[in-house]
Amino acid sequence: MNFHVCTLFPEMIKQGCNTSILGRAMEKGLITIGTTDIRDFSTNKHMKVDDYPYGGGAGMVMQAEPVYACVEHVKKQLGGNARVLYMTPQGRTFSQDMAQELAKEENLIFLCGHYEGIDERVLEEVVTDYVSIGDYVLTGGELPAMVMIDAIARLVPDVLHNDVSADIETFYDNLLEYPQYSRPAVWHDKEVPAVLLSGHHKNIEAWRYEQSLERTKRWRPDLYEKHMEAHPPVIKKKRKKKKNNSENK
Ligand code: ADE
């Protein structure tokens, strides 16, 4: 899968993405993360890409032409109709479901704004998805793009060592993840729950599910409700005693 970021700060993306799991995934050729500097498409002799907003107001606005030329250049490079995601607090809130949907794409282009935003006219022409990573305002779209790349890339097959771990973790089926423990079995007088040392896989699975349910109910009642809607508890009806046939005679 190929991620491509149009940004004024390519170094930020390169440095943020080339370590740990993403770095290894790139080395293995499972993903690519490319960057293109919007400033390279400036038509101004001082390489400026921003100007004052029409109508006045604080800050500067990124101009339409360099952004347009940059995105079109990347689209051509990728050779196809890649989705163009614009990072903005006004967008749809990013979620695990959205990550799963986007992980099916072959190419994704992230457009990162800075200052007071980007000229609306170019957004209308190039953007396919407006995405926010939460209800707070950051100084630019680079951190949101990195957050999204991280969440999407780990869903690409073989990026995670253990391919079941993406299935059993937080938000799978609207449940938070159960608690995890590792050696030593006793630490600061706290013992690892005995069931985890039992080797009884069915009991361990049941305990973990209980823990997930409990945590979700306590910390994310909104998710708990969704989970319970999809998995209503099975209520076992008491069987009625068969009537004695002789009574009907
Ligand atoms: N740019 C600035 N703030 C943002 C946010 N919360 N999400 C996405 N892009 C942004």
pLDDT band at 240 (very low <50, low <70, confident <90, very high): low
Binding-site residues, ligand 1, Cβ < 6 A: 87-89, 132-134, 136-138, 141, 144
Q: pLDDT tens digit string along 55-77?
A: 999 999 999 999 999 999 999 99
Per-residue pLDDT averaged across 94-121, rounded?
Answer: 96
Give me the chain's average pLDDT, please.
93
Q: pLDDT tens digit string along 205-229?
A: 999 999 999 999 999 999 999 999 9
Please indicate whether residue 243 or residue 24 has the higher confidence score (pLDDT).
24
Q: pLDDT tens digit string along 12-60?
A: 999 999 999 999 999 999 999 999 999 999 999 999 999 999 999 999 9
Distance (Å, whole) CA 176 – CA 170: 4
Q: Take atom 2 of ligand 1 and give the residue whose Cα is closest.
A: 138
The confidence score (pLDDT) of residue 244 equals 62
* pLDDT above 90 (res 166): no
The confidence score (pLDDT) of residue 249 equals 44
- DSSP annotation string for the chain: -EEEEEES-HHHHHHHHSSHHHHHHHHTTS-EEEEEEGGGG--STT---EEPPTT--SS-EE-HHHHHHHHHHHHHHHTS--EEEEEEEEEEEP-HHHHHHHTT-SEEEEE--BTT-B-HHHHHHH-SEEEESSSS--SBSHHHHHHHHHHHHTTSTTSSSSTTHHHHSTTGGG-PPPP---S-SEETTEEPPGGGGS--HHHHHHHHHHHHHHHHHHH-HHHHHHHHHHSPPPPPPPPPPPPPHHHH-
Kindly give the distance from the C-alpha atom of residue 93 to the centroid of ligand 1, in angstroms, as a whole number.
10
Q: Take atom 5 of ligand 1 and give the residue whose Cα is closest.
A: 89
pTM of the predicted structure, to 2 decimals: 0.89
Give the position, in ligand 1's atom list, of the atom nearest the Cα of 136: 6
